[in-house]
């Protein structure tokens, strides 16, 4: 495909884990003949990503997300399979490749602990050979958008987590990459700080056309920034489709909340569970597979006086939880 940016073909990665024998004798034996075990971190993942896409990458702890991001950014090589990004093979052509990408690891700052942020940026300017105009323009814009002017002269060790994260995000973008990997950029942040980062990521994706891969445990991050979602579990891909598609396909349980003018005794409705709430309110629960919400509403409106009503859809978080719990079969 012409506008394909990332092509990942059946990549696998295992890590050697030192398996300790128990007790002192085992310990000593280990010194001479260390026992290893191979742990599969990524076990045959495929996908393609087009230019300009924003893709959410989710999965439980240890699913293989960071390992995948590290292979995509050229930090690790895959044991098997191929990766091609913008015509590069990341781990083989790392030097030429990195000028095209940005990487943010929420768990670990890439900035110097003791240097003022601005000095770390100057260093990056030299490392990446960023042209003067590009650097000045980006620095000015990111300082404004991420509201960094009050702490840009301070070293990382003096910053709050939210400030540090913003400084790291700006650092990863100074050289104007067209692809950015965000590995948990919202980890540990409060709602306001998260929202600021989501807004910024949405901006660089939608306004600047930067392709985004966004790893997170917070489903709100995905709903607010990404249009596509890749769910991985135990090193394998479980789901890969649009965020809306996931909701439409799997969010089958609906709730209709109705406030009636008086406390009616509602006649039973087939396939609908009716709950009575306070103040003439009732909740109608059903699956959209056997009840049409339109006909339910018009039926109720034809029979009763209604004051107010609202529909509650399942959010992406509960859909994903259901997938994990095995409640939803992914084809």
Residues that bind ligand ATP (CB under 6 A): 15, 17, 39, 41, 59, 61-67
> Cα dist. 282→261, 300, 302, 313 in Å?
11, 12, 16, 16
Q: Is 73 in the site for Mg ion (CB under 5 A)?
A: no
Q: Residue 61 touches which of ligand ATP, Mg ion, none (CB < 5 to 8 A by kind)?
A: ligand ATP
Q: Is 186 in the site for Mg ion (CB under 5 A)?
A: no
Of the two residues 66 and 138, which places its CB atom closer to Mg ion in the complex? Answer: 66
> Exactly one of 53, 66, 152, 240 binds Mg ion (CB under 5 A); which one?
66
Residue 16 beta carbon to ligand ATP: minimum distance, rounded to whole angstroms = 7
Of the two residues 15 and 77, which places its CB atom closer to ligand ATP in the complex? Answer: 15
Residue 183 beta carbon to Mg ion: minimum distance, rounded to whole angstroms = 6
Contact window for Mg ion (CB under 5 A) among 26-34, 61-69, 80-88, 294-302: 61-69
Q: Is 216 in the site for Mg ion (CB under 5 A)?
A: no
Tokens 């991050």 belong to residue = 221
Q: What is the DSSP string of 169-233?
A: HHHHHTT--SEEEEESTTTT--HHHHHHHHHHHHHHHHTT--EEEEE-S-HHHHHHH-SEEEEEE
Tokens (6 digits) for 92: 């083989």
Tokens 């990524």 belong to residue = 42
Cα-only R_g, the chain? 25
Residue 251 beta carbon to ligand ATP: minimum distance, rounded to whole angstroms = 24
Of the two residues 39 and 303, which places its CB atom closer to ligand ATP in the complex? Answer: 39
Q: Is 143 in the site for Mg ion (CB under 5 A)?
A: no
C-alpha–C-alpha distance, residues 174 and 198, integer Å:
18
Q: Residue 35 touches which of ligand ATP, Mg ion, none (CB < 5 to 8 A by kind)?
A: none
Of the two residues 75 and 269, which places its CB atom closer to ligand ATP in the complex? Answer: 75
Of the two residues 66 and 225, which places its CB atom closer to ligand ATP in the complex? Answer: 66
Residue 56 beta carbon to Mg ion: minimum distance, rounded to whole angstroms = 14
Q: Residue 67 touches which of Mg ion, ligand ATP, none (CB < 5 to 8 A by kind)?
A: ligand ATP
Distance of CA 215 to the CA centre of its chain: 3
Query: Which residue has the closest beta carbon to Mg ion?
Result: 66
Residue 107 beta carbon to ligand ATP: minimum distance, rounded to whole angstroms = 7
Per DSSP, 99 falls in state T
Outline where the chain has alpha helix (H): 23-32, 65-72, 94-98, 117-127, 132-145, 161-173, 191-206, 219-225, 243-250, 293-303, 316-324
Tokens (6 digits) for 313: 């859809």
Of the two residues 66 and 251, which places its CB atom closer to Mg ion in the complex? Answer: 66
C-alpha–C-alpha distance, residues 214 and 55, integer Å:
6
Q: Which residues bind Mg ion (CB under 5 A)?
A: 65-66
């Amino acid at each position: 495909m012409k506008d394909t940016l990332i092509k990942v073909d059946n990549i696998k990665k295992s890590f050697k884990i030192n398996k300790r024998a128990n007790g002192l004798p085992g310990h000593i034996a280990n010194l001479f003949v260390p026992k290893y075990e191979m742990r599969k971190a990524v076990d045959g993942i495929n996908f393609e990503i087009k230019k300009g896409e924003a893709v959410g990458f989710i999965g439980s702890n240890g699913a293989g997300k960071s390992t995948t991001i590290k292979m995509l950014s050229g930090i690790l090589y895959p044991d098997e399979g191929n990766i091609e990004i913008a015509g590069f093979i990341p781990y083989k052509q790392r030097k030429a490749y990195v000028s095209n990408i940005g990487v943010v690891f929420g768990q670990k700052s890439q900035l110097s602990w003791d240097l003022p942020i601005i000095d770390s940026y100057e260093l990056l300017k030299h490392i990446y050979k960023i042209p003067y105009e590009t650097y000045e323009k980006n620095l000015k814009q990111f300082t404004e958008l991420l509201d960094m002017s009050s702490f840009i002269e301070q070293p990382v060790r003096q910053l709050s987590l939210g400030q540090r994260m913003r400084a790291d995000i700006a650092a990863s973008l100074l050289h104007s990459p067209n692809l950015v990997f965000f590995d948990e950029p919202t980890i540990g942040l409060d709602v306001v700080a998260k929202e600021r980062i989501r807004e910024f990521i949405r901006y660089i994706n939608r306004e600047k056309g930067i392709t985004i891969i966004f790893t997170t445990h917070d489903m709100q991050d995905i709903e607010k920034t990404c249009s596509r979602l890749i769910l991985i579990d135990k090193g394998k891909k479980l789901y890969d489709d649009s965020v809306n598609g996931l909701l439409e396909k799997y969010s089958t349980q609906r709730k209709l909340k109705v406030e009636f003018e008086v406390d009616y005794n509602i006649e039973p409705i087939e396939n609908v569970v009716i709950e009575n709430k306070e103040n003439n309110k009732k909740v109608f629960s059903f699956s959209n597979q056997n009840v049409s919400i339109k006909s339910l509403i018009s039926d109720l409106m034809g029979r009763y006086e209604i004051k107010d009503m609202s529909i509650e859809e399942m959010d992406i978080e509960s859909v994903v939880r259901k997938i994990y719990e095995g409640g939803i079969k992914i084809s």
